[in-house]
Amino acid sequence: MKNILLILFLLPMCFCFAQVDSLNIVEKLEELIKTVDTIDEQVESNRDRIEFQQRDYNSLDQEILKLQDFLDELEKSNQEIQKNIDGILAKLKTNIDDMEAKLQTKTDSILAVISEMENNTNNIFESINGSLGVTNQKNTEKFDLLNQTLKKRIQYTIIALVIILAVIILTYLITKKALYKQNSELSSSIAKTRSIMEKESIQLDSKLIEILEKQMVIQQESFSKGNKEEFDHSLTLKVADEIIRIEKNLSRMDEKIKGYKQLKAAVNRIKDNFAAKGYDIIDMIGMDYDTGMKVIANFIPDETLEKDQQIITRIIRPQVNYEGIMIQSAQIEVSQGE
């Protein structure tokens, strides 16, 4: 249709200049028709490519949402495990303290009994010695025999009490050692589980970064061929949210974990790419909170801060600027003194 309209438009011109050079005009007309056909083919090709990239973008967006849900569940599970571990450790400490208190009470009671028996023995000896001064030789021999018998019985009693005390102390030491070993094994198991979860988290985040980088390349190609005024920043904002989440996870991990440095480098690479394209992710961690900030703030009391002091300690969603203009406001967590 476009070709027919173009021919109709150019025919009057051709008749006007037919006397000058009719053959050249016809050739130029044919060249213009071929050029228009080529342009139409390129437009149709670009349109099909854009539609394919849009379908690919929707598919990747679904994958990103699924990965995000999995990571959120993983983080909740990690928090529940940590709470259970803290409860077990607190219970073990309470049991140890109770056993120490009971052992101390029993020890004090045994020592009091031994002391009382020694006093009674001394009183008996004094009474016997006093009686011996007024009796005859036979009675003295009987009292000596009785005295020796009493001493032996008291010695046996003291030995039995000492053995009982030693058994109690030994039982306490064995129990304490077993609890310490159990605590050590539990701590080791916790550390191992945490290490495995951190490795899996790094692998998932690395895969997510790769998907986001590919999607950004596709979006940038569409952006370079389309209308810049209608450019959609939604993918960039999603990537910025993921960068903040990944950086928060990395800050809690050991740098020696496999894949840590590669993931850190990938995050820095995306941030540099953002800066080159005019995007700026505002880092608010450690800044003083101001009521004039255009943010969504959640306040948490902190006894370590001075009264009325307010510091931004966590970024839930970052503030993103594009060419100096804010396109996403931040959602933050503010610690304030009481």
pLDDT score recorded for residue 15: 46
Does 236 have pLDDT greater than 90?
Answer: no
Largest distance between two CA atoms of the chain: 175
DSSP state of 135: S
Q: Kindly indicate the confidence band of residue 326, based on its pLDDT and cuts at 50, 70 and 90.
A: very high
pLDDT score recorded for residue 318: 92
Q: Read off the tokens for 10.
A: 């150019």
pLDDT score recorded for residue 26: 65
pLDDT score recorded for residue 112: 76
Q: Kindly indicate the confidence band of residue 311, based on its pLDDT and cuts at 50, 70 and 90.
A: very high
Give pLDDT tens digits for 174-216.
Answer: 888 888 888 788 778 877 887 888 888 888 888 888 888 888 7
Does 310 have pLDDT greater than 50?
Answer: yes
Percent of the chain with pLDDT over 70: 70
Give pLDDT tens digits for 77-87.
Answer: 767 777 777 77
Q: Kindly indicate the confidence band of residue 312, based on its pLDDT and cuts at 50, 70 and 90.
A: very high
Q: What kind and span of H or E run contains 326?
A: strand 325-328
Tell which wins on pLDDT, 105 or 59.
105
Give pLDDT tens digits for 97-145.
Answer: 777 777 678 777 767 766 776 677 667 656 656 655 555 566 667 767 7
pLDDT score recorded for residue 19: 45
Give pLDDT tens digits for 257-296.
Answer: 888 889 889 888 888 888 888 889 888 888 999 888 899 9
pLDDT score recorded for residue 296: 92
Please provide residue 232's backbone torsions phi and psi, each rounded to the nearest 5 degrees. Answer: -90, 125
Does 321 have pLDDT greater than 80?
Answer: yes
Residue 327 is which amino acid? I
Q: Kindly indicate the confidence band of residue 17, based on its pLDDT and cuts at 50, 70 and 90.
A: very low
pLDDT score recorded for residue 127: 66
Tell which wins on pLDDT, 237 or 115.
237
Does 335 have pLDDT greater than 90?
Answer: yes
pLDDT score recorded for residue 225: 60
Sorted by sequence, the CB contacts under 8 Å of residue 198 that are 6+ apart come out as 253, 254, 257
pLDDT score recorded for residue 46: 64
Q: What is the dihedral of CA 122, 128, 132, 134, to 10 degrees?
A: 110
Q: How far apart are CA 266 and CA 334, in angstroms?
A: 29
* Domain residue limits, the chain: 2-232
- Averaged pLDDT for residues 309-316: 91
pLDDT score recorded for residue 299: 92
Q: What is the dihedral of CA 240, 243, 247, 249, to 10 degrees?
A: 120
Does 18 have pLDDT greater than 50?
Answer: no
What is the rounded average pLDDT for all residues in the chain? 77
DSSP assignment of 252-317, as one string? TS-TTSTTHHHHHHHHHHHHHHHHHTTEEEE--TTPBP-TTS-EEEEEEE-TTSPBT-EEEEEEEE
Question: Of how many residues is the chain composed?
Answer: 338
